[in-house]
Amino acid sequence: MRRFKVGILNEHRTWQVGLCEELRRRDIDFREIRIQGTYFDINDEFSDIDLVINRASPSAYNRNHQAAIFFTLEMIEHFEQLGIPVINGSLAYRLEISKARQCRLFQQLQLPFPRTIVVNSPEQAVEAAGSLCIPLVLKPNVGGSGMGCTTFARHDDLTIEKATEVLAASVDRTAVLQDHVHADDHKSYRVQMVGLDHLYTVSAIGGGANKCLDPDCHQYDPIKTTGCSDQVPVFAEHDELSEAIDEVRKIALAGNLDTCGVEYLIHEGKRYYYDINALSVFANKTQIHFEPKDDPTTRFVNLIEQRLSQLRRDAA
For position 129, which CATH number holds?
A: 3.30.1490.20
Structural domains counted in the chain: 3
- Distance (Å, whole) CA 279 – CA 58: 9
Angle at CA of residue 12, ends 43 and 47, nearest 5°: 25
Tens of pLDDT, residues 130-172? 999 999 999 999 977 677 899 999 999 999 999 999 999 899 9
Instruction: Note whether 106 and 250 are same-domain residues.
Output: yes
Range of the domain at 103: 96-112+183-289
205 phi and psi, to 5 degrees? -135, 140
Instruction: Note whether 141 and 200 are same-domain residues.
Output: no
Tens of pLDDT, residues 216-251? 554 544 444 444 445 677 888 999 999 999 999 999
Contacts of 126 (CB under 8 A, 6+ apart): 158, 159, 160, 163
Tens of pLDDT, residues 91-133? 999 999 999 999 999 999 999 999 999 999 999 999 999 999 9
Q: Which of 127, 151, 179 is the last residue in one of the domains?
A: 179
Please tell me the predicted confidence (pLDDT) of residue 213: 64
Instruction: Note whether 12 and 131 are same-domain residues.
Output: no
For position 209, which CATH number holds?
A: 3.30.470.20
State the burial class of residue 254 (Cβ atoms within 10 Å of its Cβ: 0-12, 13-18, 19+): middle
- pTM of the full structure: 0.90
